[in-house]
Structure 1
Amino acid sequence: MNGTDSQAPRMAPPWRAPLILLGIGLIAWWALPDQLGLLTRIAITALFVLSLDLVVGIAGLATLGHAALFGAGAYAAGIFALRVHGDPLMGLAVGTGAGALLALASGAFLLRYHGFTFLMLTVAIAQILLSLAQKARDWTGGDDGLSGFMMGPLLGRFAFDLEGRTAALYALGVLVVGYYVARRVVDSPFGLAVRGIHENRARMAALGTPVTTRLLATYTFAGALAGAAGALSAQTHAIVALDSLSFALSAEALVMLILGGAGRLHGALIGAAIFTLLHHTAASINPYHWLFIIGAALMAVVLVPPQKAWGWLRARLGWKA
Structure 2
Amino acid sequence: MTLHDLTAAKPSRFGRRLPLLPEIVMLTLAIAAYFAFPYDLALVTRFLIMILFVLSLDLVLGYAGIATLGHAALYGTGAYAAGLFAVHVSGDPIIGLAVGAAAGAALAFVSGLLLMRTHGLTLLMLSIAITLICQEIANKARDLTGGADGLRGIRMEPVLGLFKFDFVGRTGYWYALVVVCLCYVVLKIVTASPLGLSIRGVRDSAARMVAIGSPVYWRLVTVYTIGGAIAGIAGALAAQVTQLVSLEAYAFNLSAEALIMLILGGAGRLHGAVIGVVIFMTVHHVAAAVDPFNWLFVIGAMVLAIVFFVPTGILDLPKALSSLIRRNNNARS
- The answer to whether the superposition gives a TM-score over 0.5 is yes
| Distance change >3 Å, CA 265–CA 142, structure 1 → 2 | same
1:119 paired residue among 95, 120, 124: 124
Task: Give a deviation string over 1:211-256, Cα, whole Å, max 9, x none.
Answer: 0111111000000110000000001111001011011111111111
Deviation at 1:17, TM superposition (A): 4.7
Aligned equivalents of 2:160 and 2:245: distance in 1? 23
Task: Give a deviation string over 1:55-82, Cα, whole Å, max 9, x none.
Answer: 1111111101000000000000000001
1:292 paired residue among 287, 291, 297: 297
| Distance change >3 Å, CA 304–CA 142, structure 1 → 2 | same
Task: Give a deviation string over 1:28-87, Cα, whole Å, max 9, x none.
Answer: 112221221121000000100110111111111110100000000000000000111111
The answer to whether the 8 A contact 2:15-2:21 is kept is no
Q: Which runs of 5+ in 1 are unaligned?
A: 1-8, 317-321
Q: Which runs of 5+ in 2 are unaligned?
A: 1-13, 326-333
1:100 paired residue among 105, 114, 124: 105
Q: Which amino acid aligns with 1:198?
A: R
TM alignment of 1:161-200, pairs within 5 A: 161-200=166-205
The answer to whether the 8 A contact 2:148-2:246 is kept is yes
Aligned equivalents of 2:317 and 2:231: distance in 1? 32
Q: Which amino acid aligns with 2:208?
A: R
TM alignment of 1:123-138, pairs within 5 A: 123-138=128-143
Partner of 2:72: 67
| Distance change >3 Å, CA 313–CA 206, structure 1 → 2 | closer
The answer to whether the 8 A contact 1:14-1:184 is kept is no
3-state SS of paired residue (1:24): helix
1:270 paired residue among 269, 275, 293: 275
| Distance change >3 Å, CA 14–CA 191, structure 1 → 2 | farther
The answer to whether the 8 A contact 1:14-1:180 is kept is no
2:219 paired residue among 211, 214, 223: 214
Correspondence 1:146 to 2:151 = yes
Aligned equivalents of 1:158 and 1:184: distance in 2? 29
Partner of 1:36: 41
Partner of 2:252: 247
| Distance change >3 Å, CA 142–CA 124, structure 1 → 2 | same
Aligned equivalents of 1:55 and 1:12: distance in 2? 28
Aligned equivalents of 2:253 and 2:139: distance in 1? 17
Q: Which amino acid aligns with 1:292?
A: F
| Aligned residues between the structures | 309
Task: Please say which of residues 300-309 and 141-150 is displaced more in the overlay.
Answer: 300-309
Q: Which amino acid aligns with 1:57?
A: G
Aligned equivalents of 1:246 and 1:91: distance in 2? 22
Task: Please say which of residues 108-117 and 84-93 is displaced more in the overlay.
Answer: 108-117
TM-score by length of 1: 0.91
Correspondence 1:49 to 2:54 = yes
2:321 paired residue among 306, 312, 316: 312
The answer to whether the 8 A contact 1:14-1:183 is kept is no
Partner of 1:233: 238
The answer to whether the 8 A contact 2:116-2:217 is kept is yes
The answer to whether the 8 A contact 1:58-1:198 is kept is yes
Partner of 1:3: none
Aligned equivalents of 1:239 and 1:192: distance in 2? 38
TM-score by length of 2: 0.88
Correspondence 1:76 to 2:81 = yes
Deviation at 1:162, TM superposition (A): 1.1
| Distance change >3 Å, CA 298–CA 65, structure 1 → 2 | same
Aligned equivalents of 1:87 and 1:170: distance in 2? 13
3-state SS of paired residue (1:161): coil
3-state SS of paired residue (2:40): helix
3-state SS of paired residue (2:39): helix
Deviation at 1:186, TM superposition (A): 0.5
| Distance change >3 Å, CA 169–CA 72, structure 1 → 2 | same
